[in-house]
Amino acid sequence: MPTSKETIELAKAAAVAARDKLGENLVALDVSEPFVLAEIFLMVSADNETQVQAIASNVEDELFKLGVKTKAREGRAAGRWILIDFGDLIVHVMHQEEREFYGLERLWLDCPVVPLGN
């Protein structure tokens, strides 16, 4: 199933919210072929736990303003990797060390990159 325009726009809005809180190395992958539970994974890096939490909160707040509710959230207490499930969009806000260690981009290497714009 191809990724919908709505999910792409949602990923772009989440990316803007992440950048507003100094999120780095944003990568969006179209996972709709191999992963039936979502269309896009958005990965964002941060330098410390406080920043990870600030980015995750801002993404949730901004998407809520667009009428999108969070379906599930994991990792907020530890603040090293917060996963936010918006249904067709899953946002991974990760401390840079976790991102390098787990290498999600390597796991989803065959998935096309979704352009996020500036």
Q: What is the pLDDT of residue 5?
A: 92
Domain ranges within the chain, ordered by starting residue: 5-107
Q: What is the pLDDT of residue 97?
A: 93
Assigned architecture for domain 5-107: 2-Layer Sandwich (3.30)
Cβ atoms of 79 and 46 closer than 8 Å: no
Count the neighbouring beta carbons within 10 Å of the beta carbon of residue 36.
Answer: 9
User: From edge to edge, which strands make up the β-sheet containing 81-85?
Assistant: 24-30, 40-46, 89-95, 81-85, 72-74
Tell me how far apart the alpha carbons of residues 55 and 79 are, in angstroms, rounded to a whole number.
11
Helices 5-20 and 49-65 cross at an angle (nearest 10°) of 140
Per-residue pLDDT tens over the stretch 11-38: 999 999 999 999 999 999 999 988 888 9
Q: What is the pLDDT of residue 1?
A: 57
Cα separation of the two ends of the chain: 27
Residue 90 C-beta-side C-alpha neighbours within 13 Å: 19
Top-confidence residue, 43 or 1: 43
pLDDT surpassing 80 at residue 104:
yes
Per-residue pLDDT tens over the stretch 43-93: 999 999 999 999 999 999 999 999 999 999 999 888 899 999 999 999 999
pLDDT surpassing 90 at residue 117:
no
Q: What is the pLDDT of residue 81?
A: 96
Alpha-carbon distance values, 32 to 4, 7, 13 (Å): 10, 11, 19
Q: What is the pLDDT of residue 19?
A: 98
